[in-house]
Chain A
Amino acid sequence: MTDKVLTANRLSDGIAVWLDAAGHWTENLQDALVARHAEAAASLEAIGKRDFADNKVVDVAVIDVEETNGVLWPTRLRERIRAAGPTMNYASGYGKADAAFIAV
């Protein structure tokens, strides 16, 4: 099974978040809890449904990631951009996404 993590957007501000091992929603994909087997993935889905119902997050999804040298890398470009931010310098004080992370 492809490794999976649980992602969503926080209800109050819409910021992209991932579920960590402590059950908190973190803004850093690299802190996410990785499900490596079907049972764990099912558990992620259940937590996602619960936290959606509890009005903590919206747009919940379980996504595919690959782990290389300890770095989590979503297999879909869309999810890499969600994790790393816009890929260009878009605002003063906010850096662009790491090109190496975004690249296929």
Chain B
Amino acid sequence: MSSYDFPDARGHFGPYGGVYVAETLMAALDELNAEYARAKADPAFWQEYHYELKHFVGRPSPIYHAKRWSEQLGGAQIYFKREDLNHTGAHKVNNTIGQALLARRMGKKRVIAETGAGQHGVASATVAARYGMECVVYMGSEDVKRQAPNVFRMKLLGATVVPVESGSKTLKDALNEAMRDWVTNIDSTFYILGTAAGPHPYPMLVRDFQRIIGIEAKEQMQEMVGRQPDMVVACVGGGSNAIGIFHPYVEVEGVRLVGVEAGGDGVATGRHAAPLSAGKPGVLHGFRSYLMQDENGQIIETHSVSAGLDYPGVGPEHSLLKDIGRAEYVAINDDEALKAFEDCCHLEGIIPALESSHALAYAAKIAPTMAKDQIILVNLSGRGDKDINTVAGLMGLTL
């Protein structure tokens, strides 16, 4: 696999990715691409990025051996990459710092972002406060309801949260609205896209800023257990935490990469958010990738207990990794994710995000089929404090 080098100069990951946007955005994307090429070659840029990750975010995030859970499951040893311990509570901040530093280089004083679960919105509001920028976050009105604590966190950080009422009122509609804002305010505004999707260069940009997860994990596993895991598992909505941990492992032989999509009520019911498991290639939000769509090419509404996975598309690099067989993609249903959420709380003393609970659920499912000396590394992409209202609601409680 030594030939893995994507995307190409125009942002294609094999047949996926690309730049499918209206002409008005093309110049801004070219400008961003050119600035990132300069920043990428500038050691001072990366020096500041790493300084911020260390002193503001608290990196490196540790690796943790989930001993009790592994023992109870009776198979492979499960380890967590603790992205939940980052400042703001998820992996999202790795990317927002990188993009905010780019925005600053480009002299943009206003940043916008879309958010589903609110983690990317919080991470964007956080860096905007940190660097003194105006911040507007678009969020589907359904998500505003189910992620109320994060909405308030964004407001505390000085951001304006705009509820989006169009379409299904979730993440995809927030993305549409952010694009509309960007096209209107293109001179003053930097769009901090939260996942490894969207038009080129975003999938590459977000991956490069999230790769730190996998780079650290490789060093830490070597240090901790003297070898690399047999399997790396991460949840996939747009796919930023997954590509962040997968990418440094793509050329490492013997490491299985498993992306876990949101199965919602079950893939067979059609009520899910698993385009790699049950969709087909199409074009949405500026890129070509697997999509949840009907026979007319209309985007289908998605269903997941986790707002962060409730997205009908997936980052283009995951579509490529699926097609070339380097990564496998599976789906975990809402009830399985909730069971893993509870087990993680009880057995490990960690409240995981509902998104990450999908990855945990797959690890818990597959571990008993593996040998006790095998290792599964799960990207615990975020903490679950934001989800307590949702989980309480499912238990029939109000807080």
Q: Do A and B come from one complex?
A: no
